[in-house]
Structures are given as C-alpha cells and as structure tokens.
Amino acid sequence: MRDKILQLLRNKGPAHMSGEEMAGKLGVSRTSIWKNIQSLKSDGYHIESSPRIGYRLVGVPDLLYPAEISKGLKAKVIASALGLIYHFWQTDSTNTALKSLAEGGAPEGTIVIAEEQTGGRGRLGRSWFSPPGKGISFSILLRPSLAPGDTPLFTLMTAAAVTQGIKNVLPDLPIGIKWPNDLLIKGRKVCGILTEIKAETDLLHHLIIGIGINVNLKLEDFPPEINKIATSIYLENNETEVSRQKLTCSILQEMDDSYRRYLSEGPGFILTEWKKYNITLGKKITLNIFRDQIAGTAVDLSPRGALILEEKEGTRREFHSGEVTLL
Ligand code: BTN
C-alpha cells in the first residue's frame, strides 16, 4: 500500500492529491491512506499535508528502500523485481543474511541491502566497517552454471561493474582497481568486494557477491585503525555528499548488464573491462600470501584472472590470491 501511495504521489509531481482521490483509486478508506502516509513520514519521506487540498511528495530520504531501488532500475536478473530486494536497518553481514536466503531456495538475482552491518566481513578474515546510513553494503545472489575454479573472474567482473557504476554518477572520480578487487582513490580504499561460494568439487551451487562502499563517511566517522588506509567518496568528491540511492541503482544496473553479457557471450570481456580501470599492472608491487612476501612487477592477468608477477631475476609466476601493496 505504501508503495502504491508513493507511486500516486510521484505521478502527481509537484501537485497535491487528495486523500479521497487516493482512497478511491486504491479501493481503501481515507483513514487507511492517512495511516500509511504517517508511516511513510516516520520513515523519512517528506510529505506535505494541506487541509482540503491533500498530500504532496516533497522529498525522499536517501535510504536504500526496495521501492526506491526498484524504481531506478531496468534490470532483468539482479534485483529485477521488488520481491527480490531485502532491506535491513541492521544486520550482522549481508553476505550471511543472503546465505540463509540462498539455502532456503531464494532465486538468482535476490539481493540483501543493509543500512548498517554489525559484523561486516572482509577478505582474508578481516572485518568491514559499515556505520548506519553512510555507506552502501549489499550482497547479490547468482546461480551461474560454472566451474568453482572460474569464480575469481566473477570478482573481477564485479570490480569493473562497480567502478563503472560509480563513474556513471561521478565521471571525474579518479577511482581504479587494485588486483583483484579493491577499489582505490589516490591509494586509499573506498570499496571492497567479498565473494563467497557454496560448491562441490566441480559443481557450483551458488555465488554470493558482497559489496561494501564508503560513500558519505566523514573523516571522523572512520575508526583510527583504518583512517590512513581508507577513504570515502564524500572525502574525494570535494566533501560533497552523494546520493546512495543513485549510486546503488547505477551499480546494480551495471552488475545486471555485465552478468547478462557473461550469460550470453561468456567471460571473454571481463579482463578487458577490468583492465580499463586497472591500477596494478605495470607497477612494482609486493604480494603478501600467508606468511610470504614476494616482490616484483605485476605484468598481466592470466585468462582465469590470476596475477602474473615478474620477479627480479625475470621469472614469471601466477598467483590466484594474496594482498597486493602498490610500491
Ligand atoms: C574486502 O575488501 O575485504 C571485502 C569487503 C566486503 C564488504 C562487503 S559489505 C557487504 C558484504 N557483507 C559483508 O559482510 N561483507 C561484504
């Protein structure tokens, strides 16, 4: 009912619509309209009520409500219907919440978005900081028919799609991808991606791609242990806030386009897209894998997305995981 009321108000643009007209169109009482309007107001929708003239939608909060996300998307698989979008005010981790849904049979394209995560998880056992209403934290469920060994390509595809999604909104933001899937601005991390799978040795059941972006965090919002290595879009965008709704829609649209492209033409395009935003290849780096640290030049990616590192003496080796430090 709330979504239908919002739709009617949106269609009216800057004009008012009376409670009576809404009630007639939706086949409910005026009291029911009034109650739903109160509930929308308490969720942050700015709705003006004028006696005798009716209601007018003046402002929409920058919260990641399913109706707002769905309205801004023309997706065919990912978040392609309102019922595929789950929104939480708070959850421990959107990847964990989506895992339960996936195990209960949720369809491909289901997404979980949270305004706040209390136990956000990062790669290599690290945590991910997600304070309420400031960043974007969401996870996407996919069920491609694919060998588990090919999943790293999906992570690269995601990094490229998220970068493109951010660039659609902020074309001048100097954002690039550090292998495999960290998005950095001027050397500081602004977005991380955590891909988790459920698979047998050679059969993938599902893939959960979790994306965390520091959007409107101010310097004082970051805990001291990460404020030298992390940044936010706000900080790199002349301290100007960006619509989280707009960014989320743009990223989901890019993800949907890329995934459908993968389904129709295979993974060939992924490395090309990733390389458009690469800030790793051609650089001197160190790669940390478990307790080892290997220095060399990042020269290329293998067809399966592994990093090819050339060491001092000229030997080239492929690495499928690890943490890159750009020198
Ligand atoms: C990393 O760079 O280490 C990956 C960070 C991934 C964070 C996102 S936020 C949404 C999703 N839920 C999680 O618990 N983690 C991912």
138 CA closest ligand 1 atom index: 10
What burial class does residue 18 get, using C-beta atoms within 10 Å of its C-beta: 0-12 exposed, 13-18 middle, 19+ buried? middle
Measured CA to CA, the distance from residue 71 to residue 252 in angstroms comes to 12
> For residue 323, what pLDDT is reported?
94
Q: Is 120 in the pocket of ligand 1 (CB under 6 A)?
A: yes
Q: Is 126 in the pocket of ligand 1 (CB under 6 A)?
A: yes
Choosing from 121, 188, 244 the residue with most ligand 1 atoms within 8 A of its CB, the one to mutate for a pocket test is 121
230 φ, ψ to 5°? -115, 160
**Closest protein CA for atom 3 of ligand 1:** 122
Q: Is 78 in the pocket of ligand 1 (CB under 6 A)?
A: no
pLDDT of 46 strictly over 90: yes
Q: What is the pLDDT of residues 144-176, one digit of tens each?
A: 988 888 889 999 999 999 999 999 999 999 999
* Strand partners for 324: 287
Q: Is 91 in the pocket of ligand 1 (CB under 6 A)?
A: no
Contact between 252 and 75 (Cβ < 8 Å): yes
Instruction: Report the separation in Å between the CA atom of 132 and the middle of ligand 1, taken as the mean of its atom positions.
Output: 15
What burial class does residue 322 get, using C-beta atoms within 10 Å of its C-beta: 0-12 exposed, 13-18 middle, 19+ buried? buried
Q: Is 135 in the pocket of ligand 1 (CB under 6 A)?
A: no
Q: What is the pLDDT of residues 83-138, one digit of tens each?
A: 999 999 999 999 999 999 999 999 999 999 999 999 999 998 899 999 999 999 99
Instruction: Report the separation in Å between the CA atom of 214 and the middle of ligand 1, taken as the mean of its atom positions.
Output: 11
pTM for this one? 0.91
Q: Which string of DSSP letters, residue by residue, matches 106-139?
A: PPTT-EEEES-BSS-B-GGG-B--B-TTTSEEEE
Instruction: Report the separation in Å between the CA atom of 138 and the middle of ligand 1, taken as the mean of its atom positions.
Output: 8
Measured CA to CA, the distance from residue 194 to residue 117 in angstroms comes to 14
| Average pLDDT of the residues of the chain | 95
Residue listed under structure tokens 């989901």: 252
User: Which of 53-72 are b and which e, b meaning 16 or more Cβ less than 10 Å from the residue's Cβ?
Assistant: ebbbbeebebbbbbebbbbe
Task: Please name the helix (run of DSSP H) or strand (run of DSSP E) that holds residue 307, with its range, or none.
Answer: strand 307-310
Q: Is 93 in the pocket of ligand 1 (CB under 6 A)?
A: yes
pLDDT of 230 strictly over 90: yes
124 CA closest ligand 1 atom index: 3
Choosing from 208, 211, 213 the residue with most ligand 1 atoms within 8 A of its CB, the one to mutate for a pocket test is 211
Q: Is 122 in the pocket of ligand 1 (CB under 6 A)?
A: yes
pLDDT of 316 strictly over 90: yes
Query: Is the Cα torsion angle 216, 124, 262, 68 positive or negative in sign?
Result: negative
User: How is residue 273 written in tokens?
Assistant: 């897209």
Q: What is the pLDDT of residues 16-25, one digit of tens each?
A: 999 999 999 9
User: How is residue 312 written in tokens?
Assistant: 């001092």
Contact between 41 and 33 (Cβ < 8 Å): no
Measured CA to CA, the distance from residue 46 to residue 57 in angstroms comes to 6
Q: Is 128 in the pocket of ligand 1 (CB under 6 A)?
A: yes
Instruction: Report the separation in Å between the CA atom of 131 and the middle of ligand 1, taken as the mean of its atom positions.
Output: 13
Contact between 215 and 244 (Cβ < 8 Å): yes
3-state secondary structure of 85: strand
Measured CA to CA, the distance from residue 2 to residue 37 in angstroms comes to 8
Contact between 260 and 200 (Cβ < 8 Å): no
pLDDT of 201 strictly over 90: no
Measured CA to CA, the distance from residue 109 to residue 143 in angstroms comes to 8
**Closest protein CA for atom 15 of ligand 1:** 121
User: How is residue 315 written in tokens?
Assistant: 């030997």
- Rounded mean pLDDT of 214-226? 96
